[in-house]
């Protein structure tokens, strides 16, 4: 009798263990891996397995808001394609990031969004390649007032108080087409962000929070 009970118990235990190991956890993302739209199409913000608070659809809305509504770029070109990736920079990073990007014959742009709070980490915009590189248009020198006028709506959308930041403008030999502008918090030198502006097109080409010191 005892042997039968033991056999039944072992059988039940085996079934339980097999069921545990066969459970799929669709939201336990691997680090340093880019995920396609198909990989994350079943992602839900409130899933218990997920630590991500900004879901895919929200991330797309945020990215489109900044690229289209704030920066004034057209994402309706017939040949435009959208890419959605979810990743984590390294094992010590506090958050996963959504990278929403678009590409066509006239524009290449993207937005990196921190999933835990929706913060914009990076934005880049390259557009109208022929218009701004091959037509011989001269570079604009871009004064401080012109820079502030160009970035004003964007900075307001980010919720940043420009009065709390000092502006440093400079050029880079390896990129003569853009004017680089570093904004540094007057009370906290570690709090800074970078904006680059096309000297020909007079549009924002890049935004980055707390850029590396060697890039400043």
Residue 129: the pLDDT is 58
pLDDT band at 176 (very low <50, low <70, confident <90, very high): confident
Tokens (6 digits) for 103: 């590409």
- Counting DSSP H helices and E strands in the chain, the numbers are 5, 8
Rounded Cα gap, residues 77 and 70, in angstroms: 18
pLDDT band at 29 (very low <50, low <70, confident <90, very high): very low
Q: Are 59 and 83 in contact (CB under 8 A)?
A: no
Helix (H) or strand (E) holding 13: helix 2-21
Please name each of the domains of the chain with its CATH number: 25-127 (no CATH), 131-216 (3.10.450)
48 to 32, 53, 130, 148: CA distances (angstroms): 22, 11, 48, 44
Residue 104: the pLDDT is 93
Residue 117: the pLDDT is 87
Rounded Cα gap, residues 71 and 131, in angstroms: 18
Could you read off the pLDDT of 71-107 as tens digits, one per residue?
A: 999 999 899 999 999 887 766 677 789 999 999 999 9
Q: Cβ of 91: how many Cβ atoms within 10 Å?
A: 7
Residue 60: the pLDDT is 95
């Amino acid at each position: 009798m005892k042997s039968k009970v033991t056999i039944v118990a072992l059988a039940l235990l085996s079934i339980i263990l097999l069921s545990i190991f066969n459970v799929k956890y669709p939201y336990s993302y691997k680090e340093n891996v880019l995920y396609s739209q198909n990989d994350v199409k079943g992602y839900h913000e409130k899933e218990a397995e997920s630590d991500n608070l900004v879901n895919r659809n929200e991330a797309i809305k945020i990215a489109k808001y900044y690229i289209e509504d704030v920066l004034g770029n057209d994402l309706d070109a017939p040949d435009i394609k959208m890419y959605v990736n979810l990743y984590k920079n390294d094992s010590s990073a506090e958050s996963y990031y959504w990278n929403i990007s678009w590409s066509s014959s006239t524009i290449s742009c993207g937005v990196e969004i921190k999933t835990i709070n929706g913060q914009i980490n990076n934005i880049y915009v390259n557009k109208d390649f022929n218009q701004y590189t091959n037509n011989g248009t001269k570079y604009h020198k871009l004064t401080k007032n012109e820079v502030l006028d160009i970035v004003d709506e964007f900075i307001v959308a980010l919720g940043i108080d420009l009065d709390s930041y000092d502006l440093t403008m400079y050029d880079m030999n390896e990129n003569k087409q853009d004017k680089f502008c570093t904004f540094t918090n007057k009370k906290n030198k570690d709090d800074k962000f970078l904006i680059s502006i096309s000297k020909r097109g007079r549009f924002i080409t890049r935004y980055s929070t707390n850029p590396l010191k060697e890039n400043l």
